[in-house]
Amino acid sequence: MGKKKLSRKKLGKKRLGKKKYFSISTKNLRVNTILNFNIYLQHKDSTVLFRKRNNPFSEEALSRLIEHKIDSLLISEEDRGEYEKYSFSVKDDSCSHLTNEGFAPPIFDKSKNVEKYYKTYFNFFPIGRETLIPGSNVNFNVYEKKGIDVELYFGPEKQNRTTDIVPDDIQKSDLPLVIRNTDIPLYKEYLQDIANEYLKLSDIPEELKCSIVQENSKLIVKEILEGPLDAEKVKKSTKVVESLVDTVFYVENKFYNLLKITSDDHYAYTHALNVCAISIGLGMAIKLEKTPDIMELGLGALLHDIGKSMISPYIVNKPGRLTKEEFLIMQTHIVEGKRLLEKGNGKTQQNVFYPITQHHERLSGNGYPLKLIGEQIHLFGRITSIADFYDNLTTARPYKKAYTPYEALELMSENKENFDQNLLIVFIKMIGLQTLN
């Protein structure tokens, strides 16, 4: 008799109402995996549906559980079979299709691969294809990034054929391109030459103009985010925002051309630029004034994650799920960002601070650090929270695939209690129009 009771306790079975449930640890679910079963929370003597089947277990969902110190969930006994299939899948390293479903690649179970990932991540800089003009000469090496590996594509060190010339088929490959950080000065010179040659033309393609702007902006933002913030860097940030705003106006609000920079991997500087561009686009869509509103919104959005420069890059860029301790450390980037901006430039307008301090707040009160509710969150905070959430979903990570715009918008709609409904409707229409063009 005792054995039977012990066995049931091990299974974690609970009878609540007419249904039977069994409990699992949150550690058994991988972020951004699709769950083919409902998951519930226990509330007194009843259950509350937390996540519907056929939806991803998002980083947002995990954050909410951690914040409320919930480390176990309930699954209906009817879904045990689906859960066992899921559990087997995430543990089965031989399932090559798992990456397409957004599961964390098993290669990061090996410490040598994690070390290799960091080495590649910290020593190479992502560049766009659009600014590499076929037939033009380069004096730096260009590599193709294949997972955590890089392979020399063309450049002076390539031994076969004339390889300091950009290939004619440069635009055909889908693999992301990178250069060594040590070659960044040479890449800057190349961009300047391209700009001098093409920007003086009256019929320059929109895509090329946007690419030149975003590549130069990316280089500047990388510099801004990698060292102490001071008045000079705030001034440089303002110049970047002015350039992005002018470019969006130049291409008749087709700001989506500015969002191609992070489709391959996540970097702090590319994320900052995307959040800035999205925020500017949404600000324009709701008819904010260019000066000072959109300029202040854009500057705050560009610097929204500046506080992460004070956190270990091994935590910020970890290729997998953060521990509870690491997540708490990550949350400090809000306070650190505010402190850095105050210290770097005490004359900064108050509106610039809202994207920094409120981009993780949620209208439902489930955000952080202050758990603000509804109208307690400034308009700029509400705009930047949408931009930040959307870009995080649609950007690939080493451990998950990028969501399509449709998938991201669908997930945001399901979490609509967290976002300003009027802004979300405008944003969905705006992204829909941009992706169709």
What are the tens digits of pLDDT across the range 354-375?
Answer: 999 999 999 999 899 999 999 9
Among 417, 401, 432, CA closest to 34: 401
Give yes or no for a contact between 56 and 412, defined as CB atoms under 8 angstroms apart. Answer: no
Q: Are residues 386 and 259 in the same domain?
A: yes
221 located within any domain: yes
Instruction: Please report which residue ranges of 251-378 form alpha helices under DSSP H.
Output: 268-285, 295-302, 313-316, 324-331, 333-344, 350-358
Q: Are residues 281 and 400 in the same domain?
A: yes
Give yes or no for a contact between 266 and 397, defined as CB atoms under 8 angstroms apart. Answer: yes
Q: Are residues 21 and 88 in the same domain?
A: yes
State the Cα–Cα distance between residues 413 and 417, nearest whole angstrom: 9
Q: What pLDDT is attached to residue 97?
A: 29
Segments in the chain below pLDDT 70: 1-18, 31-32, 56, 59-60, 88-107, 109, 160-162, 199-203, 249-265, 346, 399, 433-437
Q: Are residues 220 and 358 in the same domain?
A: yes
Residue 163 three-state SS: coil
Return the structure tokens found at 81: 């079979």
Where among 61, 80, 103 does a domain terminate?
A: 103
Q: Are residues 286 and 166 in the same domain?
A: no
Pairing of strands 142-146, 177-180: antiparallel
pTM of the model: 0.76
303 located within any domain: yes
> Which residue type, as a one-letter code, is found at position 415?
N
CA atoms within 13 A on the CB side of 405: 15
pLDDT tens-digit series, residues 324-353: 888 899 999 999 999 999 987 767 789 999
pLDDT tens-digit series, residues 108-123: 767 788 888 888 989 9
358 located within any domain: yes
Length of the chain: 437
For residue 132, the enclosing domain spans 105-182
